[in-house]
Amino acid sequence: MSGITETMTSWLAEHGIPDWLIPFLVSILPIIELRGGIIAARVLDMELIQAIWVCMLGNILPIPFILLFIDKIFDFLKKHKVPLLSKIIIYLEDKAMNKSSSMEKGEFIFLLLFVGIPLPGTGAWTGSLIASLRKIPLKKAVPAIFLGLCLAAAIMCTLCYGFPEVFAKMFG
């Protein structure tokens, strides 16, 4: 993912997008999300604290819309039988439900770790989709997703900026 993110970052910078906006835009994108945003921020030599704020904001922005409206959008699209979209929606629903089948009792912890541990196919977008499809109450889903983003930010910042710099900025 870092190669794609670096290429995208360079392309956006070459086309006049301000440096602070690039990690924000990268963090909004599904699949890439905050993980790619932190990489983009590092490529641009953005200060650590600014990188965290910009990327967190970018990744958080779409989450309320997913939590509140994705099931209604999916129902509408399936009802109107748009062939390609219906197949994609069914695939996404199956994938989200399969990833979450073992989370019955530990929904909060599962969601937090699912969003927070940077692995392929995980993140706030998919975590929000799982929460929405499984009808997890917002009062449980929102804090779990937010704390998961904090965990993902800590992991990615440590990987991209290095442990000494992250530790000094946060605790020094």
- Domain residue extents for the chain: 2-60, 63-151
3-state helix, strand, coil in the chain (%, to 5): 75, 0, 25
Instruction: Please give the pLDDT value at position 63.
Output: 96
For residues 39 and 22, give the distance between their C-alpha atoms in angstroms, rounded to a whole number.
11
Query: Which pLDDT band holds residue 14 (cuts at 50, 70, 90)?
Result: very high
pTM of the full structure: 0.83
Give the pLDDT confidence score for residue 38 in this predicted structure.
96
pLDDT tens profile 19-33: 999 999 999 999 899
Place of tokens 């069914």: 90
Q: Each residue of 82-132: pLDDT tens digit?
A: 777 777 778 877 776 665 555 666 889 999 999 999 988 899 999 999 999
